[in-house]
């Protein structure tokens, strides 16, 4: 039995087609896996930024007399890499984080009820924003 000229190279074409199909599936799965790994890393940064914002709220609630009712701005640095000290300051967070990128920072604003950002039925509002690397998370409480 003799084969036609058109049937001689069909197995090579099938192998190439099957290899291409398997490669496409592998690349698709690896793309999904890499994006999931990146997202899980960013979630960790988000949690640190959230807890930095929470630390700012706690700082105000610990000593409420230090924060009068007109808008007050306070900043604090959390030493996460062990190369400095945790501080409170009046300088913006970006200055300290530029020098220590592995640290976290919070920015707190205490607002009186006369502000449109605070509801009328409360004494005051506290806005706190936590920063870590490129992530920023905010909390607002009313008292």
pTM score: 0.64
Q: What is the pLDDT of residues 73-117, one digit of tens each?
A: 777 887 777 776 556 555 667 655 666 667 788 888 777 666 566
What HEC string does 21-35 produce? HHHHHHHHHHHHHHH
Tokens of 95: 């200055």
pLDDT beyond 70 at 127: yes
Domain boundaries, the chain: 7-142
The residue count of the chain comes to 143
Q: How much is the pLDDT for 100?
A: 66
Q: How far is CA 69 from CA 5, 73, 104, 114, 137, in A?
A: 91, 11, 26, 10, 24
């Amino acid at each position: 039995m003799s084969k036609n000229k058109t049937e001689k190279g069909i197995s090579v074409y099938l192998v190439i087609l099957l290899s291409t199909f398997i490669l496409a599936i592998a690349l698709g799965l690896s793309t999904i896996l890499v994006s999931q790994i990146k997202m899980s890393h960013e979630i960790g940064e988000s949690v640190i930024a959230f807890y930095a914002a929470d630390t700012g709220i706690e700082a105000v609630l610990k000593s409420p007399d230090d924060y009068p009712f007109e808008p007050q701005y306070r900043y604090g640095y959390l030493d996460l890499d062990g190369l400095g000290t945790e501080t409170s300051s009046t300088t913006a967070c970006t200055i300290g984080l530029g020098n220590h990128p592995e640290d976290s920072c919070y920015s707190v604003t205490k607002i009186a009820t006369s502000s449109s950002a605070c509801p009328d039925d409360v004494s005051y509002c506290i806005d706190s924003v936590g920063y870590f690397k490129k992530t920023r998370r905010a909390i607002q409480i009313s008292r």
